[in-house]
Structure 1
Amino acid sequence: MKLGFLTACLPGLPLDEIADWAVAEGYQALEVAVWPSAGGRDFEASHLPVADFTDADEQRTRELLERTGLTISSLAYYENNLHPDPATRESIRTHLKHAIDTAARLGVDSVGTFIGRDPRLSVLQNLREGEKVLPELVEHAGERGVKIVIENCVMEGWHPDGYPGNLAYSPELWEWMFDLGFYLNWDPSHLMWIGIDPLETIEPYLDRIIHTQAKDVELFPAKRNRYGHFGIVDKGGDPWATGWWRYRVPGLGQVDWRRVIDRFHDLGYTGTVSVEHEDPVWGGTPEKVQQGLRIAHRTLSPLIEPQ
């Protein structure tokens, strides 16, 4: 196991600066954000120009990894691959293929994204649509020796009524996407607020968990009595408004990381545990984000690399 973090939390810093900081703080891997430079939403960044990745870009990236000793655990482009607008969907698919091609050039074995959802359709209608259009992405990746990993984020902010906007939130749906050839970027924080015990989902699906995102969650059950299980309805234009939970860096929420990492050790997991920093307390400036990453490192590193 290696400990890394997703670079999207530091969108304003170049990759070489992030890498130097990561090494100094004891991290071993980077999950590199590769959204288009035209992005700009929260928790998105463009740290490699995958849409026009040149030989010079490849050489610079390889030299950076050699100099720092870091590995790239995955390339991250988390978008809605079932977007209801055809032009937007095609743009997302095209950029995802660029990310896959770049991963293959760099010897990175996975690219992360979402299944997504067309909110105009029922879940079952989305599954049938996914069965038509998603296998071509899996084939594109497989031909290049790359696996597509899907994060089990609910993405309720993508749905106008706050229902799941990414159809990979439960083991039932994982099994559906595994049949299509996808793998899992396992994140316990999302499982906890929808009522699924993260520990119980590791062993049955270990052969499909090839990457892990370490994000914690802080729950406020008293507020659930007002909003219900799916959270606040009137988000006031803020898709991150949840109502009774908020995401934290590992160690500041209610995920039992000691038991999670012990279960991984026990079962022989050898992938990367990658901190996904979406903590509102330790956010807002690069300095605060970096302090949040230090807290996560102090929490996880003794468990991943026992002293």
Structure 2
Amino acid sequence: MKLGFLTACFPDRSLEEIAAWAASCGYEALEVAAWPDLGDRPYTATHLKAETFTPGEAERVTELFATHNLTLSSLAYYDNNLHPDPTERSAVNQHVLACLDAAALTGCPTVGTFVGRDPGKSVAQNMREAEAVFAPLVDRAGELGVKLVIENCVMEGWHPDGYPGNLAYSPELWEWIFSLGLYLNFDPSHLVWMGIDPVAAVRPYVDHVAHVQAKDIETFPELRNRYGYPGKAVGRTDPWDVGWWRYRVPGLGEVDWRRLIDVLYEGGYDGVMSVEHEDPVWGGTEERVRTGLRIAHRTLRPLIVM
């Protein structure tokens, strides 16, 4: 297993700058942000332009990673593949295809995205639509030898009432996405606030995990007693402000990383564990983000066999 991080936490830095810093801090891999450059969207970045990616650019990226002895673990494009607007949905689906092509050019093994959801339709209706939407994406991934991975993020901010906006938030739904030919980008933090033990949840499915994101979470049960699991309902001006939990870097939250990594090893996982830095305490400035990544490295490095 190798330790890396998702580059989206450095939206204003070049991939060259990020790679040099990552290697200097002892990281071994990068999950590269590949969102289209559509403006200032939180937790997104464009460190690889998949829609215009060429063999020449692939050679440049490959040489960059070789120079710093880094592994390119995944291309990250997490958006709503079931967007209710047909034009927007098509654009998202097409960008996933572009990411798959770019991954194949670089030898990157995975591309990460969301299932998503049309919030105006039932879960059952969304599942039927997803089966049609993802069929050509999975077929293309198979042709290229790339695995299409789905993160189990709840994406509650995509639903007007804070309900799950990405249909991959539970083991029940994981079994469904596996039946479509998709794999899991496993992030334990999302399971904790849903009331699911991440260690017990992932144990039966490690052979379907093609990538792992390392993010921690801090919960405040006394506030959950006021808001309930969906979070704030009155005066929720920010759709992401649930009011009773927040993400943290590994080591500053409630995930038992020792047990979790042991279960991954036991199940045969030998890929990359990629820190996804969305910690509001260690965010806000680039130096604080760097400190957060150092904390994550200090927490996880002793648990990962080199």
Give the TM-score normalised by structure 2: 0.98
Task: Spell out the pairing of 1:207-246 with structure 2 (5 A cutoff).
Answer: 207-234=207-234, 236-246=236-246
Q: Is the 8 A contact 2:207 2:267 kept in 1?
A: no
Q: CA deviation at 1:283?
A: 0.4
Q: How many residues align?
A: 306
Q: Which amino acid aligns with 2:305?
A: E
Across the aligned residues of Structure 1 and Structure 2, the Cα RMSD in angstroms comes to: 1.1
Matched residue of 1:35: which SS? coil
Matches of 1:231 and 1:213 in 2, distance apart? Answer: 24
Aligned residue number for residue 10 of structure 2: 10
Unaligned runs of at least 5 residues, structure 2: none
Matched residue of 1:27: which SS? coil
Aligned residue number for residue 279 of structure 2: 279
Residue deviations 1:257-306 (CA, integer Å, cap 9, x gap): 11111222222210110000000000011111010000000000000137
Aligned residue number for residue 192 of structure 2: 192
Aligned residue number for residue 247 of structure 2: 247
Bigger shift: 32-41 or 176-185?
32-41
Residue deviations 1:181-213 (CA, integer Å, cap 9, x gap): 000000110001001110112221011001100
Give every structure 1 segment of 4 or more consecutive aligned residues whose post-TM-superposition deviation is greater than 3 Å: 234-237
Matches of 1:214 and 1:137 in 2, distance apart? Answer: 26
1:119 aligns with 2:119: yes
Aligned residue number for residue 268 of structure 1: 268
Matches of 1:145 and 1:264 in 2, distance apart? Answer: 23
Percent of pairs with identical residues:
62
Aligned residue number for residue 86 of structure 1: 86
Matches of 1:193 and 1:34 in 2, distance apart? Answer: 28
Matches of 1:159 and 1:202 in 2, distance apart? Answer: 26
Q: Is the 8 A contact 1:50 1:98 kept in 2?
A: yes
1:256 aligns with 2:256: yes
Residue deviations 1:86-122 (CA, integer Å, cap 9, x gap): 0000111111111000000100111000000000001
Aligned residue number for residue 170 of structure 1: 170
1:65 aligns with 2:65: yes
Q: CA deviation at 1:54?
A: 1.9
Q: CA deviation at 1:237?
A: 3.4
Q: Which amino acid aligns with 1:304?
A: I
Give the TM-score normalised by structure 1: 0.97
Aligned residue number for residue 52 of structure 1: 52
Residue deviations 1:201-256 (CA, integer Å, cap 9, x gap): 22210110011000000010000011001111246432321111100000000001
Matches of 2:108 and 2:157 in 1, distance apart? Answer: 30
Matches of 2:9 and 2:137 in 1, distance apart? Answer: 27
Q: Is the 8 A contact 1:58 1:106 kept in 2?
A: yes
Q: Is the 8 A contact 2:160 2:239 kept in 1?
A: no
Task: Spell out the pairing of 1:71-110 with structure 2 (5 A cutoff).
Answer: 71-110=71-110
Q: CA deviation at 1:10?
A: 0.7
Matches of 2:177 and 2:245 in 1, distance apart? Answer: 27
Q: Which amino acid aligns with 1:70?
A: L
Matches of 1:161 and 1:38 in 2, distance apart? Answer: 26
Q: Is the 8 A contact 1:39 1:45 kept in 2?
A: no
Unaligned runs of at least 5 residues, structure 1: none
Matched residue of 1:57: which SS? helix
Matches of 1:128 and 1:198 in 2, distance apart? Answer: 27
Matched residue of 2:113: which SS? strand
Matched residue of 1:79: which SS? coil
